[in-house]
Amino acid sequence: MKEIKAKLENPLSELISDDIYELLQSHGLIDEKAVRDYQIRKKFKQLRASKVSAGDAIDAIRAEYPYLQFDTIRKIVYQISK
Q: pLDDT digits over 21-54, tens only?
A: 999 999 999 999 999 999 999 999 999 999 999 9
Give the start-to-end residue ranges of the domains of the chain: 31-77
Separation in Å, CA 7 to CA 23, 56, 62, 66, 69: 12, 33, 27, 25, 31
Q: Percent of the chain scored above 70 by pLDDT?
A: 88
d(CA 47, CA 25): 29
Mean of the pLDDT values across residues 11-28?
Answer: 92
What pLDDT score does 81 carry? 64
Mean of the pLDDT values across residues 17-21?
Answer: 93
